[in-house]
Structure 1
């Protein structure tokens, strides 16, 4: 039975779950969504919360609603540029980032290096301090590069967490691996989004022709006592939609 995780609001977790099923094709165009009453019962939330999730999906143009009728899935949406929140919720609920979308990632760099000012500030370290850098490229089911993402960790973890320095996927996922070793659980995230021109490295990784615009998303993951577990930056090219839920 699905269970609500914190700290993300319940309706956002429903939205992320249903959005992923639509993106993956598990819910095809024309398929009905569960009603608000059914979602409320399944997830153990209030009916208004479930209805709010459905309304959010309708606002994203993923489903269509009619008075007195069940909501139905619309045509296949454009690929999403997943936010840190999307990835975090997916990892916590399923242990996977990509669900059943057919997307996959390859780790292309895993190294011990020195902290540039931005990384040092994010991790609370001195400039030039040792840090672990892991760079991955995410591909679509048809092997097209969609985005790059780089994660930085305190270099002091190198001996305790040697798999961070191996350019391969960590079977249980980076978070679970670090939690097993350190006992520290990431529970709070913050995303910052910007748009800039692609660098030569961006263009090479994503198959872009410069000049081109890219979207950059920086994410900080913290424990309950505000210890930074990971600092990450993801970059995506054109055609990747970002969706954000917010209170009014």
Structure 2
């Protein structure tokens, strides 16, 4: 059983795990998903909890039940909404300054996310974006160090037309299959306070995005730091959502 955030109810952890397997292509349309009995045994939960996990996926249109047969991945599963263009593909009018593009020893958390041994070399690109005269975010992208030879422009302190991801896909055979994101709040570092013109101390919102290949390997890790008192990630929902 995978290690998944213990804060979530177990039925959501189970449904999320199955959903991730479908998004990674491990389960394809028409494949049978584990039964209530199998999920209850695998996750050490009661049958009603396993049933609730499968029902959550049914309500989302991801799986469907066949009477007397089992539960199967829908022919057209409704997965994540199409992700926006990412990989620092900023609007043309946005101000983007590449602060740093270099090879260095991976911080422990970066090595862990990228699936690299501790102490591995990684490629880091740090950019500062702005809107008019005000800096709006600090973006740091991390890549495996082996990409330095395959994608040398990642080491240039210049804006890449179309963004880092489009460039990376154009010069390698790596393709992004799915994305995963998460948010956290923390105190800004001295470097972040300087770039974003923040007082000391200042809280910031950190948006972490991982871009995965079909097999699950992380191609790119982005960490976006937003200053306080700035609304972001606006979404609109219909009443039926």
Alignment TM-score > 0.5, same fold: yes
TM-score when scaled to structure 1?
0.59
Whole-Å separation in 2 of the counterparts to 1:87 and 1:242: 19
Whole-Å separation in 2 of the counterparts to 1:98 and 1:213: 26
Among 77, 100, 105, the alignment partner of 2:96 is 105
- 8 Å CA contact 1:90–1:98 kept in 2: the answer is no
**Cα offset, 1:187, TM superposition:** 2.8
Q: Deviations over 1:83-134 (max 9, x none)?
A: xx99951349xx94326xx322111100000111100011000111010000
- 8 Å CA contact 2:204–2:227 kept in 1: the answer is yes
TM-score when scaled to structure 2?
0.60
Whole-Å separation in 1 of the counterparts to 2:89 and 2:208: 20
Name the CA shift for 1:96/1:120 in 2 (closer, same or farther; >3 Å): closer
Partner of 2:221: 231
- 8 Å CA contact 1:111–1:134 kept in 2: the answer is yes
Among 123, 136, 148, the alignment partner of 2:127 is 136
Whole-Å separation in 1 of the counterparts to 2:168 and 2:158: 15
Whole-Å separation in 2 of the counterparts to 1:187 and 1:98: 23
| 1:112-123 paired onto structure 2 within 5 Å | 112-123=103-114
| Structure with the larger helix share | 1
Q: Deviations over 1:43-97 (max 9, x none)?
A: xxxxxxxxxxxxxxxxxxxxxxxxxxxxxxxxxxxxxxxxxx99951349xx943
Tell me which moved more, 152-161 or 168-177: 168-177
Q: Secondary structure at the match of 2:143?
A: strand
Structure 1 residue ranges, 4+ long, deviating more than 4 angstroms after superposition? 85-88, 244-248
> How many correspondences in the alignment?
160
Whole-Å separation in 2 of the counterparts to 1:244 and 1:183: 33
1:182 matches 2:175: no
| 1:45-194 paired onto structure 2 within 5 Å | 88-91=83-86, 96-98=89-91, 102-140=93-131, 142-194=132-184
Whole-Å separation in 1 of the counterparts to 2:94 and 2:134: 9
Partner of 1:212: 202
Q: Deviations over 1:185-213 (max 9, x none)?
A: 11311111011111111110100011111
Q: Secondary structure at the match of 2:165?
A: helix
- 8 Å CA contact 2:90–2:163 kept in 1: the answer is no
Q: Which runs of 5+ in 1 are unaligned?
A: 1-6, 8-84
Larger radius of gyration: 2
Whole-Å separation in 2 of the counterparts to 1:163 and 1:86: 30
Q: Secondary structure at the match of 2:175?
A: coil
- 8 Å CA contact 1:115–1:126 kept in 2: the answer is no
| Cα RMSD after superposing both structures | 2.6
Among 217, 222, 246, the alignment partner of 2:212 is 222
Q: Secondary structure at the match of 1:158?
A: helix
Whole-Å separation in 1 of the counterparts to 2:200 and 2:177: 38
